[in-house]
Structure 1
Amino acid sequence: MDRSTLSIGNPLIRSSLHLSVAQMGVLLSAFSWSYALAQLPAGGFVDRVGPRRLIAVGMTIWSLAQAASGFVVGLGQFIFARIFLGIGEAPVWPGGARSVNSWHKVRERGRPIGIFNSASTLGPAIASPILTAIMLGIGWRGMFIVMAVLGFIVAAIWYFVYRNPQETQIDTVDQIELRKGDTQETSQVRFIQWLRMFRYKETWGMIFGFFGTVYLLWLYITWLPGYLELARHESIAATGLLSSIPFALGFVGSIVGGLVSDWFAKRGVSPIASRKYPLVAGLFGMAVFTVPAALVHSAVWAVVFISLAEFFGNISSATAWALPTAVAPPNYVASLGGMQNFGGYFGASLAPVVTGLLVAASGGSFVSALIVGALVAVASALVYAILVRKPISGEGLEVPLTRAANHI
């Protein structure tokens, strides 16, 4: 829900701080830039330290950033707060992938990843009406502070409830059973081995492939309320309700994506292919339904097509996050997930800015911005299909201890 605060408050914040549409595009992208850049170290740190501590620290940092957003007086301060929000959120998705990898077998990770990933759309789905009501009641500044308080509470719950497998009494036999079917594990997470991940075309395929997935999803997350108000002339209250519908379909799509990928895996399809088939199909589906969303004249039909685009986009997103658990060695799942997410949120960083510029250049029309998003999604589907084919072996990443010591 915290990611939706700025997009929900978009019109009131622009009016309060006297921001142009283009300046709001820059502000909407500030989170994505810092989040994208922080993905690379965050994934590696999760693999070294474990998700329990790192996710708790990250949630604390992002809650502080949310609180600060409620007190900003200008664009510069707001951008600074959004940058720290991105840094705080960076460990969460790589940490989630690593947690699922630690507790589930390779052919059974689609469903838990889908459930975990569904939070990214469940949040915006319930955020639209809830945050709109809070904002109309206590203002946009109060909305940010309320979300900060909730973030501190969730951080405490995560830290005191979740446990890494090595912190429990699970026996060795069960641990071996959980690792059955995984790629070979490296002896220890080292920086030189982390760098060697970039030698594989699969890594680059996941980086550039996820670019398109998140580009179009983030376009909707950041600009949907503004789109409904600017292009479809809906009221703030109506926008809050209508915005929740596509994200509700996205929530369903995420769970469906996880279930479908496990369905393929249990019928003998390889772990990578079972994730990649629904991933690529989801990207094509998202592109197909974005095009009519851009062209129809009816606001109702626009919401219908955007909802279908969100459904297929989140099938793609969920299975993309299941993919690192099939491609990477077990102790590099968070690292590869972070690399993939770096590519995704590089796309997310560009989406609000490009959209703002295209909308401003076209006099308030979103048609060209949505068509560009659809084309980016198709290109990314082709990248995943062509480049991501084989797992990355732990043996290929291994470095002799004497050489590794020289690089630490």
Structure 2
Amino acid sequence: MGIERDNASPRTRRLRSAAVALLVLAGCVNYFDRSALAVGNPEIRAELGLSYEDMGLLLSVFAWSYGFAQIPAGVLVDRFGVRRSLGFAMIVWSFAQLAAGVVTSFRQFLVARVALGLGESPMYIGGTRVCADWYPLRKRALPIAIFNSSSALAPALAPPILTWLMIAHGWRVMFIIAGLAGLVVAALWAIIYRSPQAAAIPAADLAEIHRDDGAPIEHVGWKQVGWLLRFPTAWGMFLGFFGVVYISWLYATWLPGYLEIARHQSIANAGIWSAIPLAAGFFGALSGGIISDRLARFGMGPVAACRLPVIWGLLVAGAATAAAVFADDLSVAIALMSLGLFAANISSSCGWALAAVIAPVNTVATLEAIQNVGGSLGGALAPYVSGVLLQRTNSFVPAFVLAGAIAFVCAAIYWLMTRRRIVAPVGLDLS
């Protein structure tokens, strides 16, 4: 099969590109907020008198609240639309980040991180729904990957930028600047973004976008969660994404600390070294979309084109991550970690794209939410379990080897449980 041309009108192409650009910007600010705690880890521990285990809990509590909010957020996005849902979420998470910059105790910081998780919960499920609303089935993987790449681009940019801010002005100013940036993005989103229907794009473009979507569910609400959970595919995505996010969050939360503690790097050097694997993760996120897009364009079904890169990415990420902590040379360890994050983000991008091609379009955000609850459990456990293991063993080896093993198990889950599309009978009404 040859390369497909985009036959949408110039206005539709312009509007959908603007939507993806806004999502990338919002995603970067979103991850800058998450990364600030990892970058400020040693300084915050020193000022607030926290143990490694306390910091592990502080790093993980965000993911717990983020995970618990996923399904309600997905239902709300599918029910009330992306523009209102994401706009409100951006305001909430920005004020939570501002609050974190003025805390004076461990408990206050926990509350701010919980609020940040609640506010950020609709971001990636909502962004995937935007791509499903604006792009045809076979063309969704690439824009989703471009959007999802913000989850790797921001952590790659965050260490040097946030480290500079922290050294120059302190960790509190670093948090406040990140919060103010979120409010700017919220204003841009409210001014610029509209759904395809509200933007009044040509009817032919709307028909092309949804031509291969299959029958929608007539009523979108809480009952669709139970309906989706009847399918092994939904459970496979829930369980498998645990490993994708677990291994990614090990890096996102503990990489600067690992370089300072285990590799004896200064704060400044740890920020620079951290940027290398995180930059590789960004290119992995983009590559995932390109791989899926090319596989689909040259004849592979959309589901297989997203699913297979998830599986192979997890296998490579697990092997590279487990091997990295045994490398004597720092540059070799960084190279293996770079490979690990590159592969993990291929899995992440393709995992997000999988939900947009494997279920009815008006259940995408809810299915993404189910998947991301599993991912959020991984994100919650990775920093905390790693902190506990470090506290008990005074070594990062058990934490990285465990992450590699989890990645292998989750690759097997994707292989066994995500082979079939979720298809709604014509006219299914869950009211």
Matches within 5 A, 1:33-52: 33-52=64-83
Once the two structures are superposed, what CA deviation does each residue of 1:307-361 show, in whole Å capped at 9, x if it has no partner?
A: 1101000000000000111111010000000110110011110111110111111
Does the CA contact (< 8 Å) of 1:193 and 1:398 recur in 2? no
Work out the CA distance in 2 between the residues paired with 1:190 and 1:370: 40
Once the two structures are superposed, what CA deviation does each residue of 1:101-124 show, in whole Å capped at 9, x if it has no partner?
A: 011111111110110010011101
Question: Taking structure 1 as reference, are residues 199 and 18 closer, same or farther at Cα in structure 2, changes over 3 Å only?
Answer: same
C-alpha deviation, 1:155, in angstroms: 1.0
C-alpha deviation, 1:171, in angstroms: 2.6
C-alpha deviation, 1:398, in angstroms: 2.0
Partner of 2:423: 393
Work out the CA distance in 2 between the residues paired with 1:72 and 1:397: 52
Determine which of 193, 214, 221 is the counterpart of 1:162.
193
Work out the CA distance in 1 between the residues paired with 2:417 and 2:378: 19
| TM-score under structure 2 length normalisation | 0.91
Determine which of 331, 350, 353 is the counterpart of 2:384.
353
Work out the CA distance in 1 between the residues paired with 2:68 and 2:325: 31
C-alpha deviation, 1:396, in angstroms: 7.8
1:91 aligns with 2:122: yes
Determine which of 319, 336, 343 is the counterpart of 2:350.
319
What number of residue pairs does the alignment pair up? 400
Partner of 1:293: 324
Determine which of 362, 376, 382 is the counterpart of 2:406.
376
1:79 aligns with 2:117: no
SS in 1 for 2:254: helix
Work out the CA distance in 1 between the residues paired with 2:38 and 2:213: 40
Partner of 2:203: 172
Work out the CA distance in 2 between the residues paired with 1:262 and 1:312: 17
Once the two structures are superposed, what CA deviation does each residue of 1:73-102 show, in whole Å capped at 9, x if it has no partner?
A: 111110000000000001110111100001
SS in 1 for 2:98: helix
C-alpha deviation, 1:300, in angstroms: 1.6
Work out the CA distance in 1 between the residues paired with 2:232 and 2:162: 42
Work out the CA distance in 2 between the residues paired with 1:140 and 1:332: 40
SS in 2 for 1:22: helix
Q: Which amino acid aligns with 2:57?
A: V
Once the two structures are superposed, what CA deviation does each residue of 1:244-292 show, in whole Å capped at 9, x if it has no partner?
A: 1111111111111001101111122111111001111110110111122
Does the CA contact (< 8 Å) of 1:276 and 1:384 recur in 2? yes
Moved more, 180-189 or 390-399: 390-399
Work out the CA distance in 2 between the residues paired with 1:333 and 1:84: 25
SS in 2 for 1:295: coil
C-alpha deviation, 1:397, in angstroms: 8.8
Unaligned runs of 5+ in 2: 1-31
1:152 aligns with 2:180: no
1:198 aligns with 2:229: yes
Structure 1 residue runs of 4 or more that deviate by more than 3 Å after TM superposition: none
Work out the CA distance in 2 between the residues paired with 1:328 and 1:279: 17
Work out the CA distance in 1 between the residues paired with 2:424 and 2:201: 24
Does the CA contact (< 8 Å) of 1:293 and 1:303 recur in 2? yes
Partner of 2:9: none
Does the CA contact (< 8 Å) of 1:183 and 1:392 recur in 2? no
Alpha carbon RMSD of aligned pairs, Å?
1.1
Q: Which amino acid aligns with 1:158?
A: W
C-alpha deviation, 1:193, in angstroms: 2.6
Once the two structures are superposed, what CA deviation does each residue of 1:150-183 show, in whole Å capped at 9, x if it has no partner?
A: 0100111112111111111213222111112213
Unaligned runs of 5+ in 1: none
Does the CA contact (< 8 Å) of 2:216 and 2:426 recur in 1? no
Moved more, 204-213 or 300-309: 300-309
Q: What percentage of aligned pairs have identical amino acids?
A: 44
Q: Which amino acid aligns with 2:144?
A: I
Does the CA contact (< 8 Å) of 1:94 and 1:338 recur in 2? yes
Partner of 1:274: 305
C-alpha deviation, 1:53, in angstroms: 1.2
Work out the CA distance in 2 between the residues paired with 1:105 and 1:257: 18
Once the two structures are superposed, what CA deviation does each residue of 1:16-65 show, in whole Å capped at 9, x if it has no partner?
A: 00000010000000100000000010011101111111111111101100
Does the CA contact (< 8 Å) of 2:217 and 2:429 recur in 1? no
Q: Which amino acid aligns with 1:335?
A: T
Work out the CA distance in 1 between the residues paired with 2:370 and 2:70: 7
Matches within 5 A, 1:362-373: 362-363=393-394, 365-373=395-403
C-alpha deviation, 1:188, in angstroms: 2.4
| TM-score under structure 1 length normalisation | 0.96
1:261 aligns with 2:292: yes
Q: Which amino acid aligns with 2:119?
A: G
Moved more, 169-178 or 145-154: 169-178
Q: Which amino acid aligns with 1:274?
A: A
Question: Taking structure 1 as reference, are residues 292 and 397 closer, same or farther at Cα in structure 2, changes over 3 Å only?
Answer: farther
